Copies of this chain bind each other. A is one copy, B any other.
């Protein structure tokens, strides 16, 4: 087995286009066209191809959580009971809006989640009233992010 998912083959022009749009999804295609010296229609064709290949999975507006009063980010390692099936716990975690990521991981924990809360008190409530209340979750270890110094996507 050597083909996990068909790899997209992209050339230098695709990379340039992507680098622009990964920085600013609303950058007009025609501006990019002028920057890299090909026509707007050519960029359209390439973007359609990249979408069809699955390489582009959409675009997002990024909201700054601090502006909404969310200042406390934390990672939480979760130990599940042996008998517990992981998907059931995940389904419960999905219902907690403060949970932004959830990974099934190797190592000490069964799963590792990232949560975003307003403050420490809010984090404590999410931990005690929401997460610990989920059946099958036995113990947790919390790591509060005091500062995030790097946040980026894959380098193209």
Contacts and interface: CB of A to CB of B under 8 A. Distances in A.
Contacts of A1: none
Contacts of A141: 107
Interface string A101-140: 1111111110011001000000000000000000000000
Interface residues of A, number: 67
Given A25-B26, A103-B75, A105-B146, A153 B112 contact: no
Contacts of A70: 154
Interface of A: 4-5, 7-8, 10, 18, 21-26, 53-71, 73, 75, 90, 93-94, 97, 99-109, 112-113, 116, 141-156
A100 B153 contact: yes
A147 to B, nearest CB: 5
A102 B148 contact: yes
